[in-house]
Structure formats: C-alpha cells, structure tokens
C-alpha cells in the first residue's frame, strides 16, 4: 500500500527539499509523484535538456525510503515551443486559439506537437528508464481539451472514411436526407459545434477517443523501449468525466488511476464509491488514487474544508473500494500560479498545516494493515453496466431538463451501498460470469453481441434489471425500427407503448412484496406486459395515458429473471425495489450496520479477507461483529460491539478460527 503526495521541487530552492522530504517520511509516506508539469525546467530551450535536478530529487526521495512516480510533462508545453509553433495550441469552437499559460492547451493531433512530446519523453526515458527508484510513470495529466482546428477536421474526415468506407454508408446511417444534410464529399463534413446530427456527434466523440489514444500510445511505446518490464504506466483520469471512452484509453495502460475531489460540501460515500468502482472496472483490477483532496480546493463555488477526520475516512473509503495507493494534491503551496489557494499538506512557509496530522495518522495505519491488505481486492456479486456512448447519447437528447445519466446510475447504486453490498461497475460489453445480479441503467444503445450476452446471463440463472430508455438506438445513434426495449423485449417481458417526460410527480403502487404506494418523476414509460411477463408496479391516476398501466415488469427465463423499470422511482420505492431484487437474486450484504457506516471487504485469492469499517456520520456508532476479529491497527483482538467515533475507521480481519 502506498501513501504520498504530488511534489514540485522545481518550485523551490534546492535547500528547501531536504525538509520537505523529511516531513514526508515523518508522515509515513512512501511514494511521491513529480515532474508532470516541469517541461520548461527540464527543457528551458529547444533541445537543451536539464535533468540533473530531477535526478537529485529522485535520489533524495529514495534516500528517505520514498519511491517515485515520474510524470511526463506534456500537459504543459513551454513558452518557447508555443511561441515558435502556435499551431500546436488548440483552437476552440469559436475559432480562437488557446493562450499559453494554461495546461492541456495543446492540439492532440498536431504533428509538430507530437514530435516535441516524443523528444522530451524519450530524453526522460533514456535518463530514468533504468532508475531503480522509479516504480511507475504517469502520462500527461487529466486529458481534457477538444481542438477544432483544420488539422483535427482533416483527421476526423479520414477517421470517418475509414469507419464507413463509402459516403453512401455514412449518409444512410446518419439519415442525412433530414434537413438536406447529405454529403457527397468527405471534405464537406464538419466538426459538430453545439447540438448537431446525432450520428455525427457520436462519431466525433469516438474520434476524440482515438486521437487521445494515439497520443497516449506514442508515449507508451517510447517508454517501453527504455523502462524495466515491472515498471508500470498509467494516466490520472477524472472520474465521471466523459470527453472520451475511458475503457478504450485504459486498455493500453498497465493500471488505472484517477483524481478524487469533492469540491463543495462533504463526502457522500454512497455516490463517491461508484466512481472508485468505475475506475476499478476500467481494467477489472485495483487502481491508484493519484490525487486526493487534501482539505479544500480552489475551483469550486464554495471551497470549504472537509470535516475533521473526513480526509482519513476518505482515504480508507478509497482503499475499501480497491485503491492500492492514496496520493494528495498537493504537498506544498506554490507562492504563485493559478492554484495558490488550493489545499495542501504543507504551507508556503514550509511548515505543516493542520491537516498534516490527519495524514500523519494514515501512514502508521497503512504500515500496520498493509501486509494483510496485500494481494486483496473487492469481490462483488453485483455488476452495474456503464457505457460512454449511452451517456453521450442520453445527455445530448435528455428530453427532460432533469434527466441525468449519472444521477440515474447512482439512483441504483446508492441503495446497494447503503446496505454494504459491493458492486463492480463494468463496461456493458464485459463478461458477466460470476455475477448473481446485473443492473443496466439506461442501456440506450444495443447491438447483437450485447443482446446475446444479457440473454445468456439470464438463461444461465442471473437476475437482470433493465431501466428506462433501454433499447432505443443502434451503434450509430440512430433509432431502432422497433419499440423499446427492441431486441430485449421478449427477455424483459414487456414492450414500451409510449414514453413521457413528466412535468410533475405521478403516483404509483407496487406489489413486489406488500402493496406499497409512492411516486415517480422525470420519466415514465407505459409498458405493455407480454404473455410471460408480470406487472410489479403500476401507475395510479395521472395524465390519462398512464392510468393503471404497468410501470415495472418481471419475467422469469429458465433459472434467471429479468426486470424492466420504466420510470424513475422515488427514493423510498427505489430502496424497496432494490432490496427486493437483490434478495431475490441471493445477494447478501457484507455486514449489517447502522446508517452512515460503510463496511467494505477485500478478499485474496486464497480466501484471506480484510474488512474496512468507516463511520461517515457525525455521530458515534456501534457495530455487532458477526465473528471474532483482530484489529489490524493494533494487532489485538477486538471486542464486540465495536465503537466507531465520527469519521472513525477500523480495519479488521476475522480471527483464524472464523476465517
């Protein structure tokens, strides 16, 4: 297990470094990320590389038992480069070229920029590729820029030509007879600005993904020529950020990493856990938390601090969901620059801030529990399917101002998190083996492979939850020539007769257990129940179209079952339905706990199990442990009930007789 921070030695005179690193060691840190914005220091003029200072920084860290993750600095090109080659700067949708002095302001398809990136990455790789103190490399930093320049437009047109082969195929898939959009030359096709043809918009996002993947692969290929095989390569993604398809980007990386910030407010573990699980699902393995909020940020509407104890709880929350490392951004406040007010662990005077003591507690905790956690990862019987094309398509055509893909996703995730039921968030085309329950929120786009996968999962005994807007479109973002859920209608046991964006709440009643009454909002689909289907919930009197019509259906298929939820249930009914569905699928909570107490479980291949218990509430809590256990922080036996103070953490392992 790794604990560390992003450190920028280039910001400070070298005589300050020793004290910085001493304080890192004192806090129990064993890793530091450096250099990802240091291009102008490493190459102050074209072709003049200055890497001696960086080697001294890596050596100083190593002398203090701290490993290095080295960042390639390509997110922040130096002024000499952008001045001499202004076409390397990205162009926005209004035709304005980006200014120097930001970050990620490059054109990802600029041949000139790609060549300069190659040179700096190769210089670093030659110098540090065999350095024993560097355990990993981070590529660039938080890819996020879209460029609309002519170079990108030409590349996009070539991408479309390769994908569709003929212009006639493109016209057919995009229905370009609509509004006289038909093309007879690839050069006529624009980059979409604002809302545009749905097919064009979807291919543009696929092109952005391919562009960044090509950009990323260049750096990977260079590094792999020089670095040791055991040294890994990653990139720090940004959670739900959806400019590109993260599954495709992560495919070329050795491990996934992300940057976890709360911004305004406090940690909501029942939502934040979904992003950890999303990142873990990018490669179906544990991940790194490359940046974590160290108290407050500087970019939110209210840059409040996290409550006392919450930063420690947030670290263990991440570890409970599969984090192998927790790094903070950043170590020390810079005197200048755009992020002067961002939270840090060390002040601009070089002295620890109050939060340092909280980090100081995590280090010894990890030292004590690290061996038990080694080789473990979260194990789940529930999977939630996630798709970037579905997200893009829905959010471009919400049909209701309050329809939000992520909130809809969390609406299904939260009731499971509240009951301490682990979830894997995976690609909609990932294997469904070993799951008892699969939830597919808003599975808008269907193809034959996906339909077959879901059908075989249910036939094999799995329980499947399909939700509203499922099966509306094909892979080109065109409507299917069938009513929802299209080719999944028989499996779901229903057909959508019509859908309605709701102006106000609609009452409904359910019969999945006892008769329950509640409401739905935002979206409602009138379901025609098939011969083998059963209505589990129906709308009460509302707009006349929905009155007494099915809202939720169920159909059994061999040993499995499929549900179709055609509306957005209120929170009480959603909890009730999810409890019913998970119980029917035979899914059990990790451990029962009071409200606000999270229990995570990490399991090794040999069955060795570690439990992480976190009281996220502001009140003390007690847990009755279902087994005899050892406190891994103290290596002593625990008594039950276990007391947890507000934001308190316990990491425990079953006693040998109970394991």
Domains of the chain are 2-77+113-144+215-373 (3.20.20.80), 382-584 (3.40.50.880), 597-654 (2.60.40.1180)
Q: At residue 382, does pLDDT exceed 90?
A: yes
pLDDT digits (tens, 9 = 90+) for 88-144: 999 999 999 999 998 999 999 999 999 999 999 999 999 999 999 999 999 999 999
DSSP letter assigned to residue 168: H
Instruction: Say if residue 196 is exposed, middle or buried (CB neighbours under 10 Å; 0-12, 13-18, 19+).
Output: middle
Active-site annotation, residues: 142, 291
Q: Quick one: what percent of the chain has pLDDT higher than 90? A: 98
Distinct helix (H) and strand (E) counts, the chain: 17, 28
| Strand spans (E) along 271-369 | 287-292, 323-328
Residue 481 sits at the vertex; the CA angle it makes with 478 and 484, to the nearest 5 degrees, is: 90
Q: If you average pLDDT over residues 364-372, what whole number do you get?
A: 95
pLDDT in the model for residue 27: 96
The continuous run of DSSP H or E covering 610 comes out as: strand 609-615
Residue 442 contacts residue 522 (beta carbons within 8 Å): no
pLDDT in the model for residue 639: 83
Rg of the chain, C-alpha, whole Å: 26
- Structure token digits, residue 227: 């670095």
What sign for the dihedral angle of Cα 587, 593, 597, 599? Answer: negative
Q: What is the pTM of this model?
A: 0.97
pLDDT digits (tens, 9 = 90+) for 10-22: 999 999 999 999 9
Confidence label for 640 from pLDDT (cuts 50, 70 and 90): confident
Q: If you average pLDDT over residues 549-554, what whole number do you get?
A: 98
């Amino acid at each position: 297990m790794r604990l560390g921070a992003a450190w920028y030695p280039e910001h400070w005179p070298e005589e300050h470094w020793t004290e910085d690193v001493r304080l890192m060691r004192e806090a129990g840190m064993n890793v530091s990320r450096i250099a990802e914005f240091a291009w102008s220091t490493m190459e102050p003029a074209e072709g003049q590389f200055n890497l001696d200072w960086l080697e001294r920084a890596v050596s100083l860290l190593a002398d203090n038992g701290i490993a290095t993750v080295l960042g390639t600095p390509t997110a922040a090109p130096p002024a000499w480069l952008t001045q001499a080659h202004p076409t390397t700067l990205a162009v926005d949708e209004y035709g304005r070229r980006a200014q120097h002095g930001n970050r990620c302001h490059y054109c990802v398809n600029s041949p000139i920029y790609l060549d300069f990136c190659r040179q700096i990455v190769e210089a670093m790789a030659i110098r540090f590729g065999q350095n024993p103190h560097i355990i990993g490399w981070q590529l660039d930093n938080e890819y996020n820029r879209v460029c609309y320049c002519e170079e990108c437009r030409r590349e996009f047109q070539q991408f479309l030509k390769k994908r569709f082969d003929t212009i006639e195929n493109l016209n057919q898939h995009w229905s370009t007879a609509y509004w006289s959009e038909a093309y007879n030359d690839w050069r006529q096709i624009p980059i979409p600005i604002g809302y545009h043809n749905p097919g064009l918009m979807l291919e543009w996002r696929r092109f952005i993904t391919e562009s960044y993947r090509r950009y990323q692969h260049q750096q990977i290929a260079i590094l792999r020529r020089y670095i040791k095989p055991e040294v890994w390569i990653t990139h720090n993604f940004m959670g739900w950020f959806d400019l590109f398809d993260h599954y495709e980007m992560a495919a070329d990386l050795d491990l996934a990493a992300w940057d976890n910030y709360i911004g305004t407010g406090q940690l909501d573990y029942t939502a934040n856990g979904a992003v950890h699980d999303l990142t873990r699902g990018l490669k179906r393995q544990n991940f790194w938390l490359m940046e974590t909020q160290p108290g407050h940020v500087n970019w939110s509407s209210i840059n409040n601090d996290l409550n006392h104890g919450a930063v420690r709880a947030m670290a263990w929350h991440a570890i409970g969901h599969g984090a192998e490392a927790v790094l903070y951004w950043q170590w020390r406040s810079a005197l200048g620059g755009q992020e002067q007010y961002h939270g840090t662990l060390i002040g601009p005077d070089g002295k620890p801030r109050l939060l340092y003591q909280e980090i100081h507690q995590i280090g010894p905790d990890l030292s004590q529990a690290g061996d038990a956690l080694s080789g473990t990862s979260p194990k789940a019987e529930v999977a939630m399917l996630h798709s970037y094309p579905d997200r893009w398509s829905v959010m471009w055509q919400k049909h209701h101002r309050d329809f939000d893909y992520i909130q809809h996703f969390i609406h299904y995730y939260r009731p499971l998190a509240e009951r301490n039921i682990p979830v894997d968030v995976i690609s909609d085309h990932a294997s469904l083996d070993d799951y008892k329950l699969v939830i597919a929120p808003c599975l808008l786009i269907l193809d034959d492979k996906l339909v077959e996968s879901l059908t075989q999962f249910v036939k094999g005994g799995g329980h499947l939850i399909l939700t509203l807007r499922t099966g509306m479109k094909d892979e080109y973002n065109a409507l299917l020539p069938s009513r929802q859920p299209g080719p999944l209608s028989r499996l779901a046991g229903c057909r959508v007769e019509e859908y309605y964006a709701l102006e106000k709440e609609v009452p409904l009643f359910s019969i999945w257990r006892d008769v329950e009454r509640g409401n739905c909002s935002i979206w409602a689909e009138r379901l025609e129940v098939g011969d083998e289907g059963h209505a589990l919930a129906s709308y009460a009197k509302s707009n006349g179209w929905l009155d007494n019509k099915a809202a939720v259906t169920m159909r059994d298929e061999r040993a499995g079952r499929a549900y179709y939820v055609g509306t957005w249930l209120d929170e009480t009914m959603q909890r009730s339905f999810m409890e019913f569905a998970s119980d029917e699928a035979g899914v059990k909570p990790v451990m029962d706990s009071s409200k606000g107490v999270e229990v995570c479980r990490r399991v090794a291949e040999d069955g060795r199990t570690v439990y992480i218990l976190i009281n996220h509430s502001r009140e003390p809590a007690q847990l009755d442990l279902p087994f005899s256990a050892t406190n891994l922080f103290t290596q002593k036996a625990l008594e039950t009930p276990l007391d947890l103070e507000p934001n308190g953490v316990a990491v425990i392992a079953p006693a040998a007789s109970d394991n």
